Amino acid sequence: MKTDIHIAQEATMEPIVKVAERIGIGEDDLELYGKYKAKLTDELMDRVKERTDGKLVLVTAINPTPAGEGKTTTSIGLAQAMGRLGKKAILALREPSLGPCFGIKGGAAGGGYAQVVPMEDLNLHFTGDFHAITSANNLLAAMVDNHIQQGNELGIDPRQIVWKRCLDMNDRVLRNVVVGLGSKADGMVREDHFVITVASEIMAVLCLADDMEDLKRRLGRMIVGYTFVGKPVTAADVQAVGAMAALLKDALKPNLIQTLEHTPAIVHGGPFANIAHGCNSVRATKTALKLADITITEAGFGADLGAEKFFDIKCRKAGLKPDAVVLVATVRALKYNGGVPKDQLSEENLPALKKGIVNLEKHIENLQKYKVPVVVTLNAFLTDTEAEVAYIENFCLERGCEFALSEVWEKGGEGGIALAEKVLDTLENRESNFEVLYGDELSLKEKIETIAKEIYGADGVSYSAAAARELKRIEDLGMGRFPVCMAKTQYSLSDDQSKLGRPKDFTVNVREVYVSAGAGFVVAVTGAIMTMPGLPKKPAANNIDVNADGVITGLF
């Protein structure tokens, strides 16, 4: 089989103007970035907003192996299959971060014959959205430090600055830094921190904003620090909102590209699901719902992270109602959750599969709590055996879930026909009675504990002294009705990545809490999760190159 980048580079793309025509978008509704990429205009989104929504399908997954298990690939292949069946479908996906591209996980353009293209553009600079977010984030950081340097009229306590700088790269040495070294003119010496751009609150704000006015309101509410008497200081207080909004003007507009089979794909925003809310932008999803009969979107990592946040944060805030959920599993991931080492996942091992399938069982149970119909799909690998596939299918059917084998990596849309037919049947014959997991009126601790117990299966939650103090301060500031965004490892239902399968008899440990007042949620950081990842021992960057003709190799 050819590599992903080889397949993508051999593909014949249609001009994006022609792709747009299929969903009723004219050239005047596009802001072109070359021949194969475009942004959707504000005028288009205003014009279609009164249309009736199509159906919304969420694609999520079980807990993955470290290499990922093909959730985005399945989303893309499903959309391509819908097109083959004559359905008007659109993808609504997140943009990739440079961190994983040069780290271990790779990009987020799908794989095999289920990809969005141009693949290299998407995985690298694309239309500059992440650069704009990084610039806006760091402008605000610079303005805070400058305000202190120029007299500190607001009385900001340098020891209580909570706004962190960001960079869209895995760079562990920037997690904790000291700034302001040098002379008096170089600023006040203090400890500072970096997060990866996808963990910036501005990423979350951009993805949840309805329009420019809403974006500016949210930017203005972001808390950058506290005064010496404990009063919060916002971006509006340091007069940074207008300049940040100017940097984000174009980034706010969703991007349109295509799949290998020319299915329209709206790709916009990209918060990580293990440290942020893990969904593409509300603007992209809502626009897709107006343009197509079926919108297929995905949420990052396993259903314990991405799907929970999609439901309890994005749907709650945007008023979205999903009609069905596709839960992606792989034989490899289930055997990994059953204790099989990574280098032995290609060998048939039914005992390990039976041990690890409890992970799938828990995710099915979790999704059913939201009262949305569930279709389980097995993302096929060449090493899967008939016995393994049959066992998983029977397991799902016994739990009231539809089941379909997905072969989209190998066969593209043709390999997703069985899955598409199951999804269409579910949309037609099973009603979604979607509801969120918890109410706004619960305390922040009650919300955290509801997620930990109901979704993760924990016995309870412990809090560091600092986290407990911060929860009280947030509620005292009147933000106790916010939903909670859990920052947790993606590799386990617990906050310990070594606990595979369906862990029991464990406590979730909340070590840090902070409020994202602009986004409108409270982040609870658990276990050893890092908001600035590091590169692995052998990063993917080692194998990426470009030749004299400008052809990139090594991306995957």
Active site residue 273: yes
Q: Which helix (H) or strand (E) holds 218?
A: helix 212-221
Q: Which of 37, 105, 165, 335 is catalytic?
A: 105
Distance CA 124, CA 8 (A): 14
Q: Which residue in the list 37, 39, 55, 94 is annotated as catalytic?
A: 94
Write down the catalytic residue from 37, 71, 283, 309.
71
d(CA 45, CA 505): 49
Catalytic residue among 163, 194, 409, 521: 409
Q: Which of 381, 399, 450, 473 is catalytic?
A: 381
Rounded to 5 degrees, φ, ψ at 207 are: -75, -20
Q: Is 3 one of the catalytic residues?
A: no
Whole-number Å distance between alpha carbons of 36 and 13: 7
Distances (CA, A) of 144 to 110, 176, 233: 39, 18, 10
DSSP per residue, 221-283 = H-EEEEETTS-EEETTTTT-HHHHHHHHTTTTSPEEEEETT--EEEE-----TTTS--B--HH
Catalytic residue among 60, 73, 295, 377: 73
The reply to whether 89 belongs to the active site is no
Is 22 known to be catalytic?
A: no
Rounded Cα distance, 224 and 238, in Å: 9
Which phi-psi region, left, alpha or beta, contains residue 441 (left: φ > 0; alpha: ψ -120 to 50)? alpha
What amino acid occupies position 38? Answer: A
The full DSSP string for 440-470 is: TTS-HHHHHHHIIIIII--SEEEE-HHHHHH
Active site residue 190: no
Burial class of residue 418, CB neighbours in 10 A (0-12, 13-18, 19+):
middle
Contact 357, 399 (CB under 8 A): no
d(CA 280, CA 282): 7
Which residue in the list 102, 301, 310, 311 is annotated as catalytic?
Answer: 301
- Is 105 a residue of the active site? yes
Please identify which of the residues 109, 273, 307, 380 carries the catalytic annotation: 273
Which residues are known to be catalytic? 71, 73, 94, 105, 273, 301, 381, 409
